[in-house]
Amino acid sequence: MSEALLRLVRHGQEQGCRPHQRYLLDRGQWAALAAAIGEDEGVALLGLWADPAQVHAALLAEETIFTASCAVPEGRYAALSPVRPGAVRFERMIRDLWGHVAEGGLDQRPWLDHGRWPLTGPLSARPAPHSMLPPQPVFLPVEGEGIHQIPVGPVHAGVIEPGHFRFHVQGEAVVRLEARLGYVHKGHIGLMLGKPAQVAARLAARLSGDSTVAHGWAFAQAVEAALGLEPPPRALALRALMAELERLHNHLNDWGAICNDAGFAWLHARAGALREAVLRAAATAFGHRLMMDRVVPGGVTDDLMPAGSAAIGAALDAVEAELPRLGAVYGSHASLADRLVGTGVIAPSLVRLFAAGGVVGRASGRGFDVRHRPGYPPYVPSEPGMLEAGDVDARTRLRMTEMEGAIRLARGLIEALPPGELTLPLPQRGGEGLGMVEGFRGDCLHWVALDEAGLVRAVFPRDPSWLLWPLLEAAIEGNILADFPLINKSINASYSGVDL
Amino acid sequence: MREGWRRLLWPRLARALVSPPLTDAPPVPPEELVQALVARLEAAAQARLGRSLAIRQVDAGSCNGCELEMSAMQNVVYDLERFGLRFVASPRHADVLLVTGPLTRNMREALLRTAECTPEPRWVVAAGDCAVDGGIFKGSYAVEGGIEAALPVDLLIPGCPPTPAQLLEGMLALLEAQGGR
């Protein structure tokens, strides 16, 4: 079935994006593509973005990743949201940033633009000045007896990112949750444009601080693909080592926080202590606790520091020794199971429809892991762990499995660290590339086009959270309000990553 | 008949209303004991309350890196509560607004409203390079370029992100300043 779709796309003009081709379609072909996606459940919409002249959709059909583009001469294009509801937020974002309107789109409300910027369409060819008062946000209506609204945020009760949640509640049960984000929109893309790749990389590394290695790597991968550059093996191994430490410390954090939200403070305390050990080892090995700015286009900035491998080894030993004990406590407390099992279930069909990756996808039976498929060096492809239940418990348990995997991988990388160069100089030329790296939340996808001087002409960093946020709204439906923190934490989508 | 009447409860209760209470009168404490108690209470209040800060954290556009390190301050290794420092859920309970991020235009109103809810005297701490002056996001249409653009800032803690140790140092400096007032 996907064959027909791929044939259709290949009628478009190849745009030279590496390693995954981009095809420029005319309006008729784009509309036909939208219809074909609607016919084929197996096609995943990985991302949708724009530049001043075109819209771009990254798609996964069978084993093939490609981008389809369509020119928007009158600022209009055929919407994809009727066939893939995950496109809704992308289409709203495209309208806010570039001013292109999705014809037939399911939702035309603004998303990132809260009416507080000095201009509208900041990334369009001609941004217009804006001086009106910010409009009141409009939420989807809910009708029925005894329904009331609970507004939460943007400033939340804990040390977390800002966003607004509008709950419609009937008694204790949540009838509908709608998230309104965009509060931390910093203008990432606008700042990256026109910059040399090395400078833009610092911005990519700050798309979402917890995934700084994954995003830094995905952006570097895109730049290297655009320039036809293969980073040295030692650099790739060090990147993977950092990426696995990042996965480990974030999973520890989430795993502990989920237990804490269910009232089990001891597990949280232990997970926090182990995470601190990992971060300190990262600081000893790479000079920065979160390993920010260590991955650069062309390689990595620094080698492992002399005491680094011993420090990482000790931290991995400590975590590895304690994880089974924590897992046993987790598994043997009915009070914990009572809160987590069967809570916040995400149906496998929804996960496939929204192309959700990471723990969220894999806990609902979508076994997508970029390290495995399409795969990238230095990883040896291996089937990712999967569960089917799709509840908070499944996502929590899967984190435990993935922590064990990360420890194994990190060990292997340290033991077999290849010798050689750390970085290659970037040639000054143009090109277009797409990078994909598996972060702790899922697939981080970066697309970049460089002009002849090697400056960023167009770019889109797509955090995995784009594909996760809509599922939070589905997961909470029918659950009690008090379980929201648990469900939210079990998904842990990034605000900064999608607010751009 | 008369004996039965005597066994009833109500007449006894009624008699108790007009007779003196069984409870002893309160003792009159010696004056020197009272003075010693006042001194001890003052010292305890200075130690416990004067040297304690309630922190309300506000993310005004951070990448979440600063939040990670602030959360780490709460882990058992740093254990910031032993210094009398704790994060509170409401700005109405806070002495300190700990603000991160380059101050996005979309968060400006929320930050100002949070500050309005924070009782005086209060301290505003800008943590992280972005909060200091916009950092890497300086010059974007979407940011104001540092917390100072909206609120007077009492303390800057630079770093990208500042480590938990650096954050703790800053907070302890505030505590000591507060003790001196």
* Out of A122, A158, A183, closest to residue B107 by CB: A183
Which residues on chain A are in Cβ contact (under 8 Å) with B145? none
Nearest-CA neighbor of A432 among A450, A453, A456? A450
Sign of CA dihedral A367, A55, A20, A212: negative
Residue B50: the pLDDT is 67
B77 touches A: beta carbon within 8 Å: yes
Using pLDDT thresholds of 50, 70 and 90, give the confidence band for residue B181.
very low
Q: What is the mean pLDDT of chain A?
A: 95
Q: What is the mean pLDDT of chain B?
A: 83
What's the whole-number mean pLDDT along residues B123-146? 96
Q: Is the pLDDT of residue B71 over 60?
A: yes
What does each C-alpha distance from A24 to A54, A273, B133 come to in angstroms?
A: 9, 51, 41
Q: What is the pTM of this model?
A: 0.91
Closest CA in chain B for residue A191:
B140
| Residues B141-151: tens digit of each pLDDT | 999 999 999 99
B66 touches A: beta carbon within 8 Å: yes
What does each C-alpha distance from B95 to A304, A481, B50, B71, B174 come to in angstroms?
A: 42, 30, 11, 18, 10
Calpha distance A176→B84 (Å, rounded): 40
Which residues on chain A are in Cβ contact (under 8 Å) with B70? 159
Residue A155: the pLDDT is 95
* Out of A117, A119, A273, closest to residue B76 by CB: A273
Residue A257: the pLDDT is 96
Residue A164: the pLDDT is 97
Residue B120: the pLDDT is 83
| Chain-chain contact of B65 with A292 (C-beta, under 8 angstroms) | yes
Residue B169: the pLDDT is 83
Contact predicate A493/A439, CB 8 Å:
no
| Residues A46-85: tens digit of each pLDDT | 999 999 999 999 999 988 999 999 999 999 999 999 999 9
| Chain-chain contact of B114 with A494 (C-beta, under 8 angstroms) | no
Residue B12: the pLDDT is 67
- Residue from A113, A156, A184 to probe the interface with B (highest B Cβ count within 10 Å): A184
* Minimal C-alpha gap between A13 and chain B (Å): 35
**Where is pLDDT greater, at B180 or A214?**
A214
> Strand ranges (DSSP E) for B31-135?
53-59, 85-87, 96-100, 123-127
Using pLDDT thresholds of 50, 70 and 90, give the confidence band for residue B20.
confident
**Cβ pairs bridging A and B (under 8 Å):** 133
- Residue A342 dihedral angles phi and psi, to the nearest 5°: 80, 5
Percent of chain A with pLDDT over 90: 94
- Residue A119 dihedral angles phi and psi, to the nearest 5°: -145, 160
What's the whole-number mean pLDDT along residues B12-25? 74
Q: Which residues of chain A have pLDDT under 50?
A: none
Residue B35: the pLDDT is 62
Q: Name the residue with tokens 């969220």.
A: A360
Q: Is the pLDDT of residue B16 over 90?
A: no
Nearest-CA neighbor of A449 among A28, A69, A8, A17? A17
